[in-house]
Copies of this chain bind each other. A is one copy, B any other.
Amino acid sequence: MGLKEDALKLHEDNKGKLAVSSKVEVKDKNDLSLVYTPGVAEVCKVIAENPEEAYKYTFKSNTVAVFTDGSAVLGLGNIGAKASLPVMEGKSILFKQLADIDAFPICVDTQDKEELIKIARNIAPGFGGINLEDISAPKCFEIEKDLQDLGIPVMHDDQHGTAITVLAAMINAAKVVDKKMEDLKVVVNGAGAAGIATVKLLNCFNIDKKICMPVRDIIVCDSKGIIHRGREGLNDVKEQLAGMTNRNDVSGILKDALKDADVFIGLSKGNVLTAEDIKVMGKDAIILAMANPIPEIMPSEALKVAKVVGTGRSDFPNQINNSLAFPGVFRGALDARALRINDEMKIAAAKAIAGCVEPTVDNILPYTLDKNVVPAVAKEVARIAKETGACEK
């Protein structure tokens, strides 16, 4: 059978992928009187007196809502809440298997920004964190920003999970080609949620050393070419991008941007580059072409010129997949009982992921299901959360 048939069969046979389970067995009336009335009332009273006790006596300490409106699901676009369920169940079982987090899909039947914010706030009592998922730009930025004071970590994975994994890949790819991160000239193709978050994270790379030492220069391209300060018709987000990138204010198209670049980061659509196009890049070029399922340039083509090539796909070396990031980031945030996930924690996660392998040309990142990744990431994220005040109001 093909992928489609296999996937449909697996989902039909199991009626989905996620279930709930009980951590305590109710064998008799005595058990019942403890887990339910009347005993449970005593637990409620303790939490009513001090809401923080919910972390001690309920599953809140280990739950994450996988929250979506289905407006930007995978490459499928706006397919709505119900059709997004298989992805959210999939994400939830990865949370469970990789990080032992009790994640549950909350697929929401409105796509109105203010409504989504209100609902996320209102369902928060039962959750230790919220993973925003597959919500379209630009509202994803505003929703995430608004929810930062909620008192539990809220992270839009399409932005930051991707940014963290890309940063991890860059750290190790730079090692392989023996270049310093701060010397790199980087071209990012794609100014969507993932592209913007990646640029922002690269811009504050090394923030944990209290020195802002970003990569040398970043140029961002969208479908209209290079984003620069003089370009007309930029929206707010791209205006902001123009201000923080492209230090020489270069204009032109993607191929112009690539001149002397050390790294190409593709977060857009497939088949936009040839080997000829990337010949203008600097020596030992790094290509991270993450468009799915067809990368911006196929590895066989890219390797005619570049030194290190990664994609989003599992059937080529160097898969760059945010499953390396989100389970450990939330595990660490929950373990530290962080109130938010700050940039320092994201950078710590990227470094920890990178630290899980001795990088080579064909192995810049650990295997997606490598059991060593989550503990390493969680430990660093929790440590940095405490150090940087992310656990304090």
Contact = CB atoms under 8 A, between A and B. Distances in A.
Given A24-B93, A115-B122, A119-B123, A7 B110 contact: no
A11 B81 contact: no
Interface in A51-93: 51, 54, 56-62, 73-76, 79-93
A20 B96 contact: yes
Interface stretch (A101-109, A163-171, A177-185): A101-109
A103 B48 contact: no
B35 A93 contact: yes
Contact of A108 (B74, B79, B123, B315): B123
Contact of A74 (B44, B47, B51): B44
Contact of A23 (B17, B42, B62): B17
A359 interface: no
B96 A314 contact: no
A233 interface: no
B126 A85 contact: yes
A368 interface: yes
Given A11-B43, A19-B59, A28 B369 contact: yes
Interface in A164-212: none
A6 B73 CA distance: 46
A109 B85 contact: no
A65 to B, nearest CB: 10
A78 to B, nearest CB: 9
B17 A97 contact: no
A244 interface: no
A76 B45 contact: yes
B86 A44 contact: yes
A391 to B, nearest CB: 18
Contact of A109 (B29, B59, B122): B122
A64 to B, nearest CB: 10
Nearest to A55: B15
Contacts of A105: 126
A44 B106 contact: no
Interface size class of A (residues with CB under 8 A): 35 or more
B8 A17 contact: no
Contact of A22 (B8, B76, B96): B96
A43 B13 CA distance: 13
A130 to B, nearest CB: 13
A12 interface: yes
A282 B235 CA distance: 80
Contact of A32 (B76, B126, B314): B314
A84 B94 CA distance: 28
B11 A41 contact: no
B35 A90 contact: yes
A3 B26 CA distance: 16
Contacts of A314: 29, 32-33
A90 B24 CA distance: 10
Contacts of A48: 76, 79-80, 83
A14 interface: yes
Nearest to A91: B36
A10 interface: yes
Contact of A37 (B8, B118, B292): B292
Between A33, A123, A293, the greatest number of chain B beta carbons within 10 A of the residue's beta carbon is seen for A123
29 contacts: A3-B38, A7-B40, A8-B46, A11-B58, A15-B57, A16-B57, A17-B35, A18-B20, A18-B23, A19-B20, A19-B62, A21-B21, A22-B97, A26-B94, A35-B93, A36-B87, A36-B91, A41-B74, A41-B75, A44-B83, A47-B79, A47-B82, A47-B83, A48-B76, A48-B79, A59-B89, A107-B125, A108-B125, A109-B123
